[in-house]
A and B are shown apart, each in its own frame.
Chain A
Amino acid sequence: DAKTTQPPSMDCAEGRAANLPCNHSTISGNEYVYWYRQIHSQGPQYIIHGLKNNETNEMASLIITEDRKSSTLILPHATLRDTAVYYCIVPNQTNFGNEKLTFGTGTRLTIIP
């Protein structure tokens, strides 16, 4: 998998936008960036994915730099329920059928009331 680097922890005030960065400088041209989050003692939850263009869904926005070497996940109006560990993952897609998700250490986001 392309290596990803994330800050170990971040705090964000409730109601503000949470911006979570991720570096993936070794990403290949056809590899997607996935974001998942894990709330304590639960399975990971899919948030969003992207290839080249910025993406937005009901949960978040994903901004990918033009060179694709980094991305930022944006939670526009953070709530206390967004407190979780956020994982940025770039699975190796050189062999599409054997792709798998491996998790790094992620960013522990704490939303502060």
Chain B
Amino acid sequence: GAVVSQHPSRVICKSGTSVKIECRSLDFQATTMFWYRQFPKQSLMLMATSNEGSKATYEQGVEKDKFLINHASLTLSTLTVTSAHPEDSSFYICSARDDGSLSFHSYTFGSGTRLTVV
């Protein structure tokens, strides 16, 4: 089945530094990928839609200059949390939509990245 690899699985960084998270579709092409954030005991919140070769679309309230998204190929999207602060500590999850989907969309999720900012 479709596999999405997300790396790293865990990262601890110092406040003020930047962290990059990678999301790769391993066996399918994904023009569109999605980035979610999940706080403890809460549901996944969609942050942005990443489109290959164009600018990402951010959900309301998500700072695009803080959460930089790059989707340079059909199999890779990256999320960079810039100038991270403790309140950015969260579980970040990516999802890729299979370009091969016809009548319905097939979405596969990565295993998530636990970010802790100290």
Q: Identify the A interface with B (CB < 8 A).
A: 32, 34, 36, 38, 41-46, 49, 51, 85, 87, 91, 99-106
Number of A-B residue pairs at CB separation under 8 A = 48
Binds A, one of B11-19, B64-72, B80-88, B108-116: B108-116
* Chain A residues whose C-beta falls within 8 Å of the C-beta of B6 in the assembled complex: 43
B34 touches A32 (CB 8 A): no
Q: How large is the interface on B (under 10, 10 to 19, 20 to 34, 35 or more residues)?
A: 20 to 34
Most chain A Cβ neighbours within 10 Å, of B45, B46, B93, B109:
B109
Given A32-B104, A49-B104, decide whether A106 and B43 contact each other with a Cβ distance below 8 A.
Answer: yes
Q: Which residue of A lies closest to B95 (CB)?
A: A101
A100 touches B93 (CB 8 A): no
B112 touches A103 (CB 8 A): no
